[in-house]
Chain A
Amino acid sequence: MTQDQDVALSVKNLKTFFYTNKRCNKAVNGVSFDIKKGKTLCIVGESGCGKSVTASTIMQLLPTLSRIEEGEITYHSENGDIRIDQLERNGEKMRSIRGSEIAMIFQDPMTALNPVYTIGFQISESLKYHTDLTRTQYKTRAIELLRDMGISLPESRVDDYPHSYSGGMRQRAMIAMAMSCSPKILIADEPTTALDVTIQAQIFELMDTLKKEHGTAIMLITHDMGVVAELADEVAVMYMGNIVEAGTVDEVLRNPTHPYTRALLASIPVLGKGKHQDITAIPGSTPDPYDRPNGCQFADRCAYRIDACDVMPEETQIGRTHRVMCWRHEEVGANAAE
């Protein structure tokens, strides 16, 4: 299998539960996916679907009152496979992977940088930990990184504090920091949600370049189907802790086979389709995570609901890469093709 060599990280049947307020919330309830080198995997879903939890599980950045219940997270490093789920949360091994092998950027660039240190200092912090460069080399490398990220006058900007950077520049600085040790995998948790569209476009160009030039595997978490269409190579649609549909971007967007994916696509207005386009709202709202339906989590809002939906559907492989979790996927898929 040549395909396996491209896989940078694989997640199998991952379950992460939260135990706050003496309740158990099955935030991530059995998800599997691969992140491939030089490809972008988009995880798309609404708030509370578990997409961010999946990211923090991979980074082992979970809060105390939560736990990986089951499943495997395997990082395929150059020196063999590493089972991330078996590492100690803040152990030495995990810390050496974080930042240097797998890096993460966050949604809000305003709070993700420490306001009392210069940008250059914050970039060199992770260089200090993960590499053995000298003091002067840190600075040169930091300047280089900022230049790569498209920040003008990096020589003077490197000594600036975060408050003098604008939102877009801070997000670039964050990416510079994440890329400082040339990680194999970049996890981006809603990196442009807090930014304007014109700035978002700049960040997307940058991420595209990273993917093409460095072969970085990117896992992008978003709620915006538009972002998926623009950036993704592969998509995983999440709903209430499960991946309900996954495949290449063509498969999922052109031939959505899960009722949720279809409903989601039908509910967003598409730019350029004019004022008279039809949009169909999804009825109801996402269920209370402490009071979930027994079977398919989407059943209560689904137009295709049948009695069988009271049992959690199995994952069905309907193409080489396309898989879906729905009892009636054949009919849904046939409707989509019309």
Chain B
Amino acid sequence: MQQNKDVILKLRDLKAHFPVKAGVFKRTVGHVKAVDGVDLDIYRGEVLGVVGESGCGKTTLGKAILRLVESSEGQVIYCSGDEQTDLTTLDNEGLVPYRKKLQIVFQDPHSSLNPAFTIFGSLEDPLKKYGVKSRAERRKIIGDLLEAVNMRPEYMDRYPHEFSGGQRQRIGIARALSIGPELIVCDEAVSALDVSIQAQVLQLLMKLKQEKNLTYVFITHDLSVTEYICDRIAVMYLGRVVELCDSEELYAHTLHPYTKALLSAVPVADLDKQTDRIVLEGDVPSPVNPPSGCPFHPRCQSAIERCKTDVPKLKRYEVDGRDHFASCHLVDLPEAV
């Protein structure tokens, strides 16, 4: 049934490896496998959550989609009607029309705006590039954008240091919207904000999605936020997607042991919903030397022999008639499901 949905972006076996150099002659001694083979379809109009711990490659994945980080293998295919374009093959010139379609909102409200420019100064150059010639028109557009993110248009002549973190984040969203994108990658867009402000920004994002028909890739480490805002969730571990399904499905029928541990570790602000924590041993292994077989097996409490040698594939399961992808050998065992 999911094949019928309108796909906006297809990631095919996407890899982003960075060389690790050492010694006097800067020889390559290994690779950081930040993203190590990700297959994902992003549907038009959905909110796809990408969750995982630091170092799992979620941010690199987001930036590789926008070519802010060059991927080393695989494809990022942008689909519009019947037209399909692999963004990884384009040069900077060829990429320009697609830059308009894909945008990003960053994490840190303090470094995401240029302190030396007014808001107008920061936001006008992209508009210039995409053909808004007159200054009056640019001021009009930026004023409207600020209104769209619940701020006063006059604020465009102020400097970033005059704004609070939440306001800056809203300006960051306005900037991403300025050239009318179809898909926005939100890279930890609310993580650095105070809780009371976080809700404002989340609700703003939802409102804008409705109004402008946007698709979000919502990258975060906060599972509570993910559950609230996302339609589907991809859980990443060491550069791979280990589980992918509808957001409510993920909480109702968790398949992968890593996801189980992750969900149980989240502190819940509700005294009636306290669960037993599954405390994982050790740390996330280094992405330079990921473990053999299933990357999660050294920390997995129910690992079997097979997990140490065979790399599990992301397989499709049907739970209650809904698609649910997971990469774990244990799920195949009869007693597990």
Judging by beta carbons under 8 Å apart, are B194 and A223 in contact? Answer: yes
Q: Spot the interface stretch: A87-95, A173-181, A196-204.
A: A196-204
A205 to B, closest residue via Cβ? B279
Judging by beta carbons under 8 Å apart, are A226 and B268 in contact? Answer: yes
Question: B30 in the interface, Cβ–Cβ < 8 Å?
Answer: no
Judging by beta carbons under 8 Å apart, are B266 and A279 in contact? Answer: no
Judging by beta carbons under 8 Å apart, are B283 and A228 in contact? Answer: no
Q: How far is the CA of A283 from the CA of B196 in the complex (A)?
A: 8
Interface secondary structure of B, over-half rule: helix
Give residues of chain A (277-309) contacting chain B, Cβ–Cβ below 8 Å. Answer: 277, 279-283, 285-286
Q: Which of B247, B265, B284 contacts A200 (CB 8 A)?
A: B265
Judging by beta carbons under 8 Å apart, are A197 and B266 in contact? Answer: yes
Chain A residues with CB under 8 A of B266: 197, 226, 271
Judging by beta carbons under 8 Å apart, are B223 and A197 in contact? Answer: yes
Judging by beta carbons under 8 Å apart, are A280 and B262 in contact? Answer: no
- How large, as a class, is the contact surface on chain A? 35 or more
Question: A312 in the interface, Cβ–Cβ < 8 Å?
Answer: no
Q: How far is the CA of A253 from the CA of B282 in the complex (A)?
A: 32
Judging by beta carbons under 8 Å apart, are A196 and B271 in contact? Answer: no
* Shortest beta-carbon distance from A285 to chain B in Å: 5
With known contacts A205-B277, A272-B251, A274-B227, A226–B221 Cβ distance under 8 A: no
Judging by beta carbons under 8 Å apart, are A279 and B195 in contact? Answer: no
With known contacts A267-B196, A275-B228, A281-B199, A228–B269 Cβ distance under 8 A: yes
Question: A249 in the interface, Cβ–Cβ < 8 Å?
Answer: yes
Question: B180 in the interface, Cβ–Cβ < 8 Å?
Answer: no
Judging by beta carbons under 8 Å apart, are A268 and B224 in contact? Answer: yes
Judging by beta carbons under 8 Å apart, are B265 and A268 in contact? Answer: no
Chain B residues with CB under 8 A of A249: 271
Chain A residues with CB under 8 A of B19: none
A194 to B, closest residue via Cβ? B54
Judging by beta carbons under 8 Å apart, are B283 and A253 in contact? Answer: no
With known contacts A197-B53, A230-B274, A272-B273, A263–B196 Cβ distance under 8 A: yes
Give residues of chain A (161-197) contacting chain B, Cβ–Cβ below 8 Å. Answer: 166-169, 196-197
Judging by beta carbons under 8 Å apart, are A47 and B194 in contact? Answer: yes
Question: A68 in the interface, Cβ–Cβ < 8 Å?
Answer: no
With known contacts A270-B224, A271-B251, A280-B199, A198–B262 Cβ distance under 8 A: yes
Question: B270 in the interface, Cβ–Cβ < 8 Å?
Answer: yes
Judging by beta carbons under 8 Å apart, are A281 and B196 in contact? Answer: yes
B284 to A, closest residue via Cβ? A196
A195 to B, closest residue via Cβ? B54
Q: How far is the CA of A270 from the CA of B262 in the complex (A)?
A: 15
Chain A residues with CB under 8 A of B280: 198, 201-202
* Shortest beta-carbon distance from B168 to chain A in Å: 11
Judging by beta carbons under 8 Å apart, are A285 and B167 in contact? Answer: yes
Question: A225 in the interface, Cβ–Cβ < 8 Å?
Answer: yes
B225 to A, closest residue via Cβ? A269
Q: How far is the CA of A254 from the CA of B272 in the complex (A)?
A: 9
Give residues of chain B (248-271) contacting chain A, Cβ–Cβ below 8 Å. Answer: 248, 251, 261-271
* Shortest beta-carbon distance from A8 to chain B in Å: 25
With known contacts A271-B251, A275-B247, A281-B196, A230–B284 Cβ distance under 8 A: no
Judging by beta carbons under 8 Å apart, are A202 and B279 in contact? Answer: yes
Question: B95 in the interface, Cβ–Cβ < 8 Å?
Answer: no
With known contacts A226-B268, A227-B267, A267–B199 Cβ distance under 8 A: yes
With known contacts A197-B223, A271-B224, A282-B199, A250–B271 Cβ distance under 8 A: yes
Q: How far is the CA of A280 from the CA of B54 in the complex (A)?
A: 29
Q: How far is the CA of A279 from the CA of B269 in the complex (A)?
A: 13
Q: How far is the CA of A267 from the CA of B224 in the complex (A)?
A: 12
Question: A264 in the interface, Cβ–Cβ < 8 Å?
Answer: yes
With known contacts A268-B224, A272-B251, A275-B248, A229–B270 Cβ distance under 8 A: yes
Question: A97 in the interface, Cβ–Cβ < 8 Å?
Answer: no
Judging by beta carbons under 8 Å apart, are B199 and A166 in contact? Answer: no
Question: A160 in the interface, Cβ–Cβ < 8 Å?
Answer: no
With known contacts A197-B265, A229-B274, A270-B269, A281–B203 Cβ distance under 8 A: yes
Chain A residues with CB under 8 A of B228: 269, 275, 277, 279
Question: B166 in the interface, Cβ–Cβ < 8 Å?
Answer: yes
Chain A residues with CB under 8 A of B263: 271
Judging by beta carbons under 8 Å apart, are B262 and A197 in contact? Answer: yes
Question: B28 in the interface, Cβ–Cβ < 8 Å?
Answer: no
Q: How far is the CA of A230 from the CA of B277 in the complex (A)?
A: 10
Judging by beta carbons under 8 Å apart, are A201 and B251 in contact? Answer: no
Judging by beta carbons under 8 Å apart, are A225 and B283 in contact? Answer: no
Question: B304 in the interface, Cβ–Cβ < 8 Å?
Answer: no
Judging by beta carbons under 8 Å apart, are B199 and A253 in contact? Answer: no
Question: A265 in the interface, Cβ–Cβ < 8 Å?
Answer: yes
Q: Which of B53, B195, B248, B262 contacts A274 (CB 8 A)?
A: B248
- 26 inter-chain pairs at a CB distance below 8 angstroms, sorted by A residue, are A166-B284, A169-B283, A197-B221, A197-B223, A199-B53, A199-B283, A200-B267, A204-B277, A223-B195, A224-B267, A226-B224, A249-B271, A253-B271, A264-B196, A268-B195, A268-B199, A269-B224, A271-B223, A271-B268, A272-B273, A273-B227, A275-B247, A281-B202, A282-B199, A285-B167, A286-B194
Chain A contact residues, CB within 8 Å of chain B? 46-47, 152, 166-169, 196-202, 204-205, 223-231, 249-250, 253-254, 263-265, 267-275, 277, 279-283, 285-286
Beyond A199-B283, A271-B273, 12 additional pairs, beta carbon < 8 A: A167-B283, A169-B283, A201-B264, A205-B277, A223-B194, A265-B269, A270-B270, A271-B266, A272-B268, A272-B273, A274-B251, A279-B203
